[in-house]
Amino acid sequence: MKGETHRMLVYLLRHGIAEEGRIGMNDSDRELTTEGRRRLRETLRALASAEVNPSLILSSPLKRAVQTAEIARSVFKTKASVLRTKALTTSAAVEQVWDEIRAHRGEPELMLVGHEPQFSNLAAYLLGAKELRVDFKKGAVLRLDLEAFGAQPRGTLRWFFLARFASPSERGPAKSD
């Protein structure tokens, strides 16, 4: 196992825009807004056209993350059911997520759906750059590649896609030189 190597593409997808919490509402019950769903679909369709194709999607058990994961599963036509994991809750340590990734190391492309601040910390951890700061907006997707699954991750950042890049209404007019 120690020398086991193959490339896994890992996508970190922060959940879409969710409703504000209300008095008496449990944070875990917050749902995606209509706008959040629309923007998320725009983003994921853009990525699907760029051949993003997760073979498995892991999600935080919180409602807004599960809804995000199910939209991703639909857009990417992922055959496997979304797997919920407590490793992707905001209180879980990044090492727990690494253990979860390692448990699925046979997957060619793995998508994780979760929350802030965990995803900023997770990106830094998976890239072996603990001082790295990532401004992880709702609906953003970060791709990194992993080639080994030892005790400490050493990923390679490939790209970071913000939801606003996919939305024609947010790009604004093209700038000329």
pLDDT tens string 15-54? 998 878 788 777 777 888 899 999 999 999 999 998 999 9
What is the CATH architecture assignment of 5-22+40-169? 3-Layer(aba) Sandwich (3.40)
Tell me what pLDDT residue 5 has.
60
At 142, is the secondary structure helix, strand, or coil? strand
DSSP state of 112: E
* CB atoms inside a 10 Å sphere around CB 113: 32
Mean pLDDT lowest among 113-117, 124-128, 166-170: 166-170
| pLDDT band (50, 70, 90) for residue 72 | very high
Q: What is the mean pLDDT of residues 76-100?
A: 95
Tell me what pLDDT residue 90 has.
87
DSSP state of 55: S
pTM: 0.90
Answer yes or no: are the C-beta atoms of 71 and 41 closer than 8 Å. Answer: yes
Answer yes or no: are the C-beta atoms of 115 and 87 closer than 8 Å. Answer: no
**Distance, CA of 79 to chain centre:** 18
Tell me what pLDDT residue 19 has.
79
Residues comprising the chain, all counted: 177
Query: Where do the domains of the chain lie?
Result: 5-22+40-169
